[in-house]
Amino acid sequence: MALQSNGLIKLSDIAAEFGGTPPLKLGNYYAGGTFVPAGLIGVPSSGLIKLSDFYGKAKPIAQVGYLLLAAGTIDSNNSTMTSGTQKYFYETGSSSAGVSLGQTKTNPAAAGNAQVGFISGGYDSNLSALSSTEKYTFDNDARVASTALGMARGSLASCGNATVGLFAGGSPDFFVQTNVTDLINYSTAVRTSGSVLSASMHGMAACSNATIGVIGGGGYGDFSQFTYLASTDRYVYSNNNRVSGTALSTARMYLAAAGNIDFGFFVGGWAGASNLAVSDKYIHANNTRVAGASLGMARRSMGAGGNALNGIFAGGQVPAGSSNFVDRYTYADNTRVTGTALTVTREAPGAVSSTPGHF
């Protein structure tokens, strides 16, 4: 629990939050020392340190869990699809293989809660759209086939809360887009149709808090003439209703998104000439957008997700093919660092967190 933001604050209050036993010394609470982690905003790592530096501060939540990256394309020629999965651990940045999906695919979407993830849609090795869904149980790395989408499609967007996953838009083939949405209940695996999007589109990204999912960007048309979008749709879970949201700064598709209960980050993408490094920080409470920290490497078709503190943007497509580059964002202070690279290059996977921080 965070310390008070004003008034009297005692050294014993700081010790109760960050640890330590008498005799207490303020000099033991420098950032990067024994009790306070490095990088805690507002707490110095050396020099003058004051009790007031700790107003509103809290011991960070442990970086437990992992981001599951499922299927996608894994070679430099953008031609080798996989059914394999990769787990990227938040605390260490290490990776390990998960259980493979039952089908090779690329451009699926994924959503889940702290128990299960659902990986839905995508394209098979013949680039035919899929409606199939697979349920991945995090605690035992088990995979089973689950309820199919109402329409086969790839390059769709997904997000969700603790109860349901929203699978939105996409392409039944590369030259046709749709505005349909599906809701899948995590507990029962029952699928229902949701409210349609504002337009038929694919290549969007989505993030969510407990009450509202935000679907942003995307495009429509064919490879000879794409129209890129900056618009957002806000999907209200409680009444299955869609309303328009604040537009992103840059029209683009094949971007990625991740967030927590307060913020969502929409990053990267493609707008016809080159990959982008642009980032938008979306504030859920007031439906506003500000500039976010740029990606460390411009790219598109990343796998993205996170926990309550950080968002991971992993892999993606670069001019040379699939990438293993990782960006790690801190939601609260809008900062980005380069994370540990993936052990396998990967683009256009479905991505879902075992410890979601957005509800």
Of residues 3 and 83, more confidently modeled = 83
CB 199 within 8 A of CB 229: yes
Using the predicted structure, report yes or no on whether residue 63 has a pLDDT greater than 70.
no
Tokens representing 118 are: 């659902």
Q: Does some domain include residue 6?
A: no
| 43 and 170 assigned to the same domain | no
| 77 and 220 assigned to the same domain | yes
Q: Does some domain include residue 1?
A: no
Q: What is the mean pLDDT of the segment spanning 43-70?
A: 88
pLDDT at 62: 64
CATH number at residue 75: 2.120.10.80
| 83 and 23 assigned to the same domain | no
% of residues, the chain, pLDDT over 90: 82
33: three-class secondary structure by DSSP: coil
Q: What are the residues whose beta carbons fall under 8 Å from the beta carbon of 31, sequence distance 6 or more?
A: 37, 38, 39, 40, 43, 44, 45
Q: Does some domain include residue 91?
A: yes
Q: Does some domain include residue 3?
A: no
Domain count for the chain: 2
Q: pLDDT-derived band of residue 308, with 50, 70 and 90 as boundaries? A: confident
| 41 and 101 assigned to the same domain | no
| 113 and 178 assigned to the same domain | yes
CB 132 within 8 A of CB 191: no
Preceding peptide of 23 cis, ω within 30°: yes
| pLDDT 10s digits, 184-221 | 999 999 999 999 999 999 999 999 999 999 999 999 99
| 164 and 203 assigned to the same domain | yes
Cα–Cα distance, 230 to 217 (Å, whole number):
5
Q: Of 182, 101, 186, which Cα lies nearest the Cα of 148?
A: 182
Instruction: Return the bridge partners of 215, or none.
Output: 206, 233
Q: Of 185, 144, 116, which Cα lies nearest the Cα of 353?
A: 116
| 34 and 82 assigned to the same domain | no
Q: Does some domain include residue 59?
A: no
pLDDT at 222: 84
Cα–Cα distance, 14 to 30 (Å, whole number):
12
Using the predicted structure, report yes or no on whether residue 335 has a pLDDT greater than 70.
yes
Q: Does some domain include residue 60?
A: no
| 345 and 225 assigned to the same domain | yes
| 188 and 267 assigned to the same domain | yes
Q: Does some domain include residue 43?
A: yes
| pLDDT 10s digits, 158-191 | 999 999 999 999 999 878 999 999 999 999 999 9
| 37 and 133 assigned to the same domain | no
Using the predicted structure, report yes or no on whether residue 311 has a pLDDT greater than 90.
yes
| 33 and 92 assigned to the same domain | no
| 47 and 72 assigned to the same domain | no
Which helix (H) or strand (E) covers residue 14, if one does?
helix 11-18
- Structural domain including 17 reads 11-54
Q: What is the mean pLDDT of the segment spanning 96-111?
A: 97
Q: Does some domain include residue 4?
A: no
Residue at token pair 């700064």: 249
